[in-house]
């Protein structure tokens, strides 16, 4: 019996010593610094945003289709009925949740790059505006961060102005993704939706349009600034019809967030991209960024490169319900000149050289 008791005491002593040793080892491990924690939060905020925009729509659609063939088919049926009843909401004012604009995660999203907004001129709350956002880049990070989230202080810089951002109308046909977009304050880039915001919503509205669209994303690469703008005049016609002033904006650094495999004009891959764009409204870009675990690995996250969005001087536009082609061309030319002035006056301040030029196609 004494032998058994002695053995047990020895084991308990050994276990106690092992626990103490483990605790000392644990305490010796350095805790994450505040800087490390901030970096992780910034990475997670960008990760959730990228996954939401790339996967939420397709995954939700596939899930609802799958549920049709299970005992949970009423879920798909009810949601389909809801979409039919709610079909026009995106084009008639949407369903914005102001709390999402103030979501703390957007501050971490802003600081990851970081994104900065620069004001050059005042915008009067007694007018409406169409803001041209350039360039498109791959995922329009600058436009989203500045015009949808409140993290860069748009409402504080431009008091009395309510910003909106438009995106592909097809996105609002995808289940759940449409709810996500509307809750954030995005609208389809259609005449009806833009017209509603400029005519039924009072004054002080600024509708941001990424004018180059999907076609411009195919030319997105570091060191090259090409805009698809020469024949894009619909936004000018709408500005004239509703008397909305035109405001150019340029996001310096937008094209540096990803690396894209650019196929030459006339190649079979380029033809597939263009055909896909005409059919579905967006272009399938072959791009890559950094990985989740390491900056040196390749993945789908954007590189941490500074983005500075400069909002330029408004071009005053009269209200003409049925503007002539000559009038549209004249104000389009005025807008292009204002954009070029904005670019040339700020390019050396935000990472470009004096010899860098803005190509407009």
Q: Read off the pLDDT of residues 44-56 as tens digits, 9 standing for 90 and up.
A: 999 999 999 889 9
CA distances from 323 to 131, 197, 241, 326 (A): 20, 20, 7, 8
Under DSSP, the state recorded for 290 is: E
| pLDDT of 175 over the 80 cut | yes
- Residue 288 resides in a domain: yes
Other residues' Cβ atoms within 10 Å of the Cβ of residue 167: 21
d(CA 167, CA 156): 24
Helices H, strands E: what count in the chain?
Answer: 13, 12
d(CA 286, CA 136): 15
Query: What pLDDT sits at residue 264?
Result: 66
Cα 231 to chain centroid, rounded:
24
Query: For residue 9, what pLDDT band results from cuts at 50, 70 and 90?
Result: very low
Contact between residue 134 and residue 339 where contact means Cβ atoms under 8 Å apart: yes
Which residue has 């409204």 as its token pair?
Answer: 281
| pLDDT of 11 over the 50 cut | no
d(CA 268, CA 264): 9
Mean pLDDT lowest among 150-154, 210-214, 223-227, 236-240: 223-227
Average pLDDT, the chain: 87
Query: What pLDDT sits at residue 24?
Result: 65
Query: What pLDDT sits at residue 355?
Result: 84
Query: What pLDDT sits at residue 19?
Result: 64
Find the helix or strand (DSSP H, E) in which 115 lies: strand 115-119
- Residue 9 resides in a domain: no
Mean pLDDT lowest among 1-5, 136-140, 206-210: 1-5
Phi/psi of residue 111, nearest 5 degrees = -75, -20
Q: Which two tokens stand for residue 36?
A: 């490390």
Percentage above 70 pLDDT, the chain: 84
- Residue 348 resides in a domain: yes
- Residue 15 resides in a domain: no
Mean pLDDT of 154-179: 93
Query: What pLDDT sits at residue 12?
Result: 42
Burial of 217 (0-12, 13-18, 19+ CB in 10 A): buried
Domain with 231, as residue range(s), is 35-360
> Looking at the 3D structure of the chain, how many domains does it have?
1
Mean pLDDT of 204-227: 82
Q: From 176, 178, 152, select the one nearest 163 (Cα to Cα).
A: 152
Q: Which two tokens stand for residue 229?
A: 């703008």
Residue with the bigger pLDDT between 240 and 200: it is 240
| pLDDT of 332 over the 50 cut | yes
| pLDDT of 68 over the 50 cut | yes
Pairing of strands 115-119, 186-188: unpaired
| pLDDT of 335 over the 90 cut | yes
- Residue 1 resides in a domain: no
- Residue 275 resides in a domain: yes
Mean pLDDT lowest among 29-38, 123-132, 196-205: 29-38
Q: From 20, 57, 320, 297, select the one nearest 171 (Cα to Cα).
A: 57
**Cα angle, residue 304 at apex, residues 295 and 208 outer, rounded to 5°:** 145
d(CA 307, CA 208): 17
SS3 146: helix
Query: What pLDDT sits at residue 223?
Result: 63
CA distances from 292 to 56, 219, 299 (A): 19, 26, 7
Query: What pLDDT sits at residue 144?
Result: 96
Query: What pLDDT sits at residue 3?
Result: 47
- Residue 21 resides in a domain: no
Size of the chain in residues = 361
| pLDDT of 7 over the 60 cut | no
**Cα angle, residue 249 at apex, residues 222 and 191 outer, rounded to 5°:** 110
- Residue 27 resides in a domain: no
Contact between residue 83 and residue 94 where contact means Cβ atoms under 8 Å apart: no
Which residue has 């196609």 as its token pair?
Answer: 361
Q: From 230, 195, 241, 214, select the one nearest 332 (Cα to Cα).
A: 230
Sheet holding 259-260, edge to edge: 259-260, 287-290, 298-299
| pLDDT of 31 over the 80 cut | no
Query: For residue 294, what pLDDT band results from cuts at 50, 70 and 90?
Result: confident
- Give 220-252 pLDDT, tens digit per residue: 666 668 899 999 999 999 999 999 999 999 999
d(CA 273, CA 264): 11
- What CATH number is associated with residue 98? 3.40.1130
Phi/psi of residue 261, nearest 5 degrees = -85, 110
Report the interhelical angle of 234-242 vs 325-346 (nearest 10°).
110
Query: For residue 17, what pLDDT band results from cuts at 50, 70 and 90?
Result: low
For 83-115, letters b (16+ CB in 10 Å) and e give beeeeeebbeebebeeebbebebbbbbbbbbbb
């Amino acid at each position: 019996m004494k032998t058994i008791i002695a053995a047990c005491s020895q084991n308990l002593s050994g276990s106690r010593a092992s626990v103490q040793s483990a605790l000392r080892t644990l305490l010796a491990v350095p805790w994450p610094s505040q800087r490390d924690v901030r970096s992780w939060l910034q990475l997670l905020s960008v990760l959730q945003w990228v996954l939401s925009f790339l996967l939420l729509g397709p995954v939700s659609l596939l899930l609802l289709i799958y549920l049709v063939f299970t005992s949970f088919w009423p879920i798909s049926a009810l949601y389909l009925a809801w979409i039919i009843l709610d079909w026009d909401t995106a084009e008639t004012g949407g369903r914005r949740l102001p709390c999402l604009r103030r979501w703390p995660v957007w501050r971490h999203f802003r600081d990851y790059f970081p994104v900065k907004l620069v004001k050059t001129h005042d915008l009067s709350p007694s007018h409406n505006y169409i803001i041209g956002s350039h360039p498109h880049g791959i995922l329009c990070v600058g436009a989203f961060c500045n015009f949808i989230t409140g993290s860069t202080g748009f409402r504080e810089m431009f008091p009395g102005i309510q910003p909106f951002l438009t995106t592909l109308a097809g996105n609002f046909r995808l289940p759940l993704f449409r709810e996500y977009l509307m809750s954030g304050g995005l609208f389809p880039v259609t005449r009806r939706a833009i017209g509603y915001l400029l005519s039924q919503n009072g004054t002080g509205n600024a509708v941001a349009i990424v004018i180059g669209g999907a076609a411009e994303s195919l030319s997105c690469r570091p060191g090259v600034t090409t805009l698809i703008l020469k024949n894009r005049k619909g936004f000018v016609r709408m500005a004239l019809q509703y008397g909305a002033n035109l405001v150019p904006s340029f996001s310096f650094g937008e094209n540096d967030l990803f690396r894209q495999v650019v196929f030459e004009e006339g190649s079979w891959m380029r033809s597939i991209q263009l055909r896909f764009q005409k059919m579905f409204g967006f272009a399938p870009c072959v791009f890559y960024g950094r990985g989740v675990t390491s900056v040196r690995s390749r993945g789908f996250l954007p590189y941490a490169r500074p983005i500075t969005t400069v909002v330029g001087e408004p071009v005053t536009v009269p209200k003409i319900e049925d503007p002539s082609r000559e009038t549209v061309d004249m104000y389009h030319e005025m807008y292009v000149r204002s954009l070029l002035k904005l670019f040339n006056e700020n390019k050396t301040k935000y990472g470009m050289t004096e010899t860098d030029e803005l190509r407009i196609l």
